[in-house]
Amino acid sequence: MRQVPEHKIKFSYLIVGSGKLSKHLQNYFSLKNISFKVWNRHSNIQFESLALDAKYILVLISDDEIVEFIKEHKSKPLEEKIWIHCSGMLSTSLAESAHPLMTFMDSLYSLETYESISFITERNRKIFKDLFPDLQNKSYEINKDEKVFYHAMCVLSGNFTAFIWKYFFDYLKSQDISESAAKVYLKAVAENLISSDNPLTGPIQRNDVKVIEKHNKALNGHPIANVYLAFLDAYNKMKKEKMIEIN
């Protein structure tokens, strides 16, 4: 009996999705001359016929949709493909994972910026080089049961602080204070955080109770007051349990 020939690979990655991460990885791959095609639900071509030509299938859609999408589209001919997702918290036997520890904006980045991004993979699964052999990015592994906590910390440190800074900018604008003034402050905070082992300053670090009480009084009745109190409570608990090292 004549053996059915293996399907010839025509390009490296089939990127599923058209969001910000998809656009950035498309740009990164283009800068690195890595072959790829893009598929989304509005594409005219059938998914399987396009996926057969790829070596890797990179699923870059909403976390809540990844598993169902793969279950629906991982047909018998596509089982040998390497399926990859980039969710920071999802762990599934249906696909490998590589989470970029980075925030992605509307504007695209330079090759140097892309190459500086670290990726987090799941321990005891395929390593980063198995998933992206043509990329030289640093990568780190974490355990499966750490992924949700890790992702929550990413959201706290990135998205939540961005929300606070955006509110601060809006507040200054309401007081006829230029946003550029706050950006000098923001830059100093970021540089201090990067360069210092003990970056916390201000009344919390000094345990200035009277100042903190006045802050709480001024913020009383405003939704942001809950954020202030939550941070203060978390700081005090973590300091007591020696989970943080701040002088």
Phi-psi region of 215 (alpha: psi -120 to 50; beta: other; left: phi over 0): alpha
The range of the structural domain enclosing residue 85 comes to: 11-142
For 204-223, the pLDDT digits (tens) are: 778 788 999 999 999 999 99
The two structure tokens encoding residue 158:
């990135």
Number of domains in the chain: 2
Q: Which residues of 66-93 are buried (b: 16+ CB within 10 A; e: fewer)?
A: bbebbeebbeeebeebebbbbbbbbbee
pLDDT of residue 27: 99
- Mark which of 119, 142, 165 sits at the end of a domain: 142
Average pLDDT over residues 26-46: 96
Average pLDDT over residues 62-69: 97
Given a cut of 60, whether residue 136 has pLDDT beyond it is yes
For 82-103, the pLDDT digits (tens) are: 999 999 999 999 999 999 999 9
Hey, CA dihedral for 178, 179, 185, 187, is it positive or negative?
Answer: negative
Given a cut of 60, whether residue 246 has pLDDT beyond it is no
Quick one: 60 and 155 in the same domain? no
4: in domain = no
49: in domain = yes
Summary mean pLDDT of the chain: 92
Average pLDDT over residues 39-58: 95
Closest C-alpha to 36, from 84, 68, 105: 84
For 162-184, the pLDDT digits (tens) are: 999 999 999 999 999 998 999 99
Average pLDDT over residues 115-123: 98
pLDDT of residue 196: 84
DSSP H helices, the chain, are 20-31, 47-51, 63-73, 111-116, 128-131, 147-154, 161-174, 179-195, 203-206, 209-219, 224-240
Given a cut of 70, whether residue 5 has pLDDT beyond it is no
Quick one: 189 and 232 in the same domain? yes
User: Which CATH number does the domain housing residue 193 bear?
Assistant: 1.10.1040
67, 90 Cβ separation under 8 angstroms: yes
pLDDT of residue 11: 95
pLDDT of residue 2: 43
pLDDT of residue 208: 86
Given a cut of 80, whether residue 138 has pLDDT beyond it is yes
User: Which CATH number does the domain housing residue 79 bear?
Assistant: 3.40.50.720
The two structure tokens encoding residue 40:
């989304």
pLDDT of residue 194: 92
> pLDDT category, 6, cuts 50, 70, 90?
low
Quick one: 169 and 134 in the same domain? no
